[in-house]
Structure 1
């Protein structure tokens, strides 16, 4: 398989590389975050609050970038958020108290999920379509998703390293986990250096529009409303919370949980490539819906499994299907808006992934403190099924250019 689709150049390669670097950090952090906060003495409810703060802060910054970022150079903007990533890692490594952690979580770039919900995402998504022909747009986004899922899987697998270090040398688990966030800051330095190699051609060729969204405003707002519902459901089952559920329900260690999400990441990664072929046969919208529905069924099923192997099997089956819609959804949004509207459309449709996910982790953390049953999984599955059916009903007739 070619790393880059035909017609994609240097800037596309840089954006795929930075996606991979971020994904590794997200994969590690999403698995160790809940355990690290627990070693600091935080309750399940407070862990949920800190996780919610990371999502709320990301949403606010992402929305601001989408609506005002068209007035700033894209390369400068990406370098700025790279610095923010460095400071976030150092801040989490140094912090101890709940309130300090809460502030750093809100203003930083930390991602409690293996999927990308950071301010980096909409900016890169808006730039990617301009680096390849329209006919290769979905394939390019599939590679973007593939690299993100694949590298995040290896990051999740490495999440067990701090626990191994603590067990084999004279160091506490808390100290070992703190070094995870130092590593996160180092990854931010690597991303900053890669962004510096982006060419001036990556910047929009036309003057910044007077308004961020124009003729496509109605479509974007409708999609954003539906994505809000999907993200609200997803907030109950972000990686950090599923790890916490596996620990409470089946007494799984961080290392074993990391291995589970490594395999889940592998399945999610390669499913992105399968999604491209399905989309060429049945269309983008139908691909999103018909792969997402059974995934949500497996998510609900996992909550009822009586032992760890069966629960893990259901979660892995879900992973094999649940991320097929990611490159297809992004390609669809970028296709049904004008090029000038892409940065704002990317932000407005991505913000729900953070903003709508703020409350669920708090509720899910409280639920897991009351019962080990997977109520968060059941609630998430039901809400996501509602999203799938509504998306099919409202957008099955709105097609991208290649399907006309």
Structure 2
């Protein structure tokens, strides 16, 4: 049984080491219990596999003789497959069980890994990527992340600090997994390809065993999770009536929304109390009718006050994701290999260091969010990263190019945990899985066009344009986020304030 530790801010009289544990969020992480730990272990091992293969996926296809356009198209179609899986699985997650969705995803990851080990046909590999789980960019797309963030937000309901801390470590540990994966794979591929009778293609095939292994680890973690990760269902008539009255009152309050896209203080305070209450009761009181299994019905069950916020956030996330899709890490390593003729080992070292920097910076995301606010943390850390993307193709020097790459990746992940915490704070617990699923779908769908655009530009020797365009789009996202949400503050219970 987990020993409870105080999650309240430590008094100044406590020893510095204990105060540091509180500030870094490690006390919050400990208090959440084994379910949250298992989520972090599963994500970390998955990102180990994604990092080990994502860095080489474009080089792998290039070594098979596929054109740059086909490489970009592969990534686009893979992301489209992730969209379909995410839409279907996240919208039904709370009906058939979040753990069942994660278990299915882990098994599909194993199947996709076997396909990439034994086949080299473009269309077979494409099919395995579209219907299975393969990270074509090194990022965590597909159904996993939306469900896992819903579980973590669900298990940390009632405290915005705890939620922010845990989600920050969710990002930190995944970045560490990616860092270790890229470092090991870079060395292993470089070593295997130099062995007598070995080729780069054969070495790449070996690395896909990590998909199989880590898919199995993910399945074990899911089987060890408790029922607390699921959203309980209750058909209490009284609860339903109370919920309907609260929603009606919130709708009336939302009609008094202030100009400029900001909610009035009285409005958000009321919604904060309601959202916190919903999260703490851990019930789903929405009636199930004959059309409840349809996606449109599921979407319509998202409350008006939630949609009022998400309708502003989703377009911004789409812009950011389109930019990320154009200059994903897999395409960036491909760009570096083409421009500077770098070896696999060197690419692995560079990417691994960048992921370690991302992990270190992500540790600071929680404390920064607690002191500066979620939106401030998201914008202040993302703007330098976006600027680095914009300037990335400018230097002819490898050293300056790598510095820009480190700035980009080192700061890039610091907005992830605050963004997830922000969404969890404005979305009731029983709507969170659906909202996270739609959010993930919007982001993935927007990013699908990116690789094809970049592949077309790379084939025409205009690879650099992709970085200029992507950096500009990312900055537009940053400033738009600031303009629309800087006035929306959060209270300590995870709701709007």
**1:354 aligned onto 2:380:** no
Which residue pairs with 1:376 in the alignment?
466
Corresponding residue to 1:155 among 181, 184, 193: 181
Secondary structure at 2:29 match in 1: coil
**1:316 aligned onto 2:342:** no
Would you say the 8 A contact 2:86–2:143 is kept in 1? yes
Q: CA deviation at 1:313?
A: 0.8
Greater Cα shift, 60-69 or 202-211 = 202-211
Q: CA deviation at 1:296?
A: 0.9
CA distance in 2 between counterparts of 1:307 and 1:256 reads: 16
- TM-score, normalising length from structure 1? 0.96
| 1:398/1:66 CA distance change after superposition, 3 Å | farther
Which residue pairs with 1:15 in the alignment?
39
Which residue pairs with 1:52 in the alignment?
76
Secondary structure at 1:204 match in 2: coil
**1:214 aligned onto 2:238:** no
CA distance in 1 between counterparts of 2:84 and 2:412 reads: 26
**1:195 aligned onto 2:284:** no
Which residue pairs with 2:428 in the alignment?
338
Would you say the 8 A contact 1:293–1:385 is kept in 2? yes
Which residue pairs with 1:142 in the alignment?
168
**1:69 aligned onto 2:93:** yes
What stretches of structure 2 of length at least 5 have no aligned partner? 1-20, 235-283, 289-297
| 1:221/1:95 CA distance change after superposition, 3 Å | farther
Superimposed CA distance per residue, residues 297-327 of structure 1 (whole angstroms, 9 cap, x where no aligned partner): 1111221011211101111012222211011
**1:270 aligned onto 2:363:** no
Superimposed CA distance per residue, residues 12-42 of structure 1 (whole angstroms, 9 cap, x where no aligned partner): 1100100111010010111111111112111
Count residues in correspondence: 404
What stretches of structure 1 of length at least 5 have no aligned partner? none
CA distance in 1 between counterparts of 2:30 and 2:60 reads: 43
- TM-score, normalising length from structure 2? 0.78
CA distance in 2 between counterparts of 1:121 and 1:396 reads: 26
CA distance in 1 between counterparts of 2:100 and 2:407 reads: 41
Would you say the 8 A contact 2:176–2:356 is kept in 1? yes
Greater Cα shift, 186-195 or 1-10 = 1-10
| 1:4/1:186 CA distance change after superposition, 3 Å | farther
Which residue pairs with 2:130 in the alignment?
106
CA distance in 1 between counterparts of 2:212 and 2:453 reads: 30
Corresponding residue to 2:203 among 165, 169, 176: 176
Aligned CA RMSD, in angstroms, stands at 1.7
Would you say the 8 A contact 2:387–2:471 is kept in 1? yes
Which residue pairs with 2:67 in the alignment?
43
Would you say the 8 A contact 2:365–2:418 is kept in 1? yes
Which residue pairs with 1:364 in the alignment?
454
Which residue pairs with 1:242 in the alignment?
332
Query: Which has more radius of gyration?
Result: 2
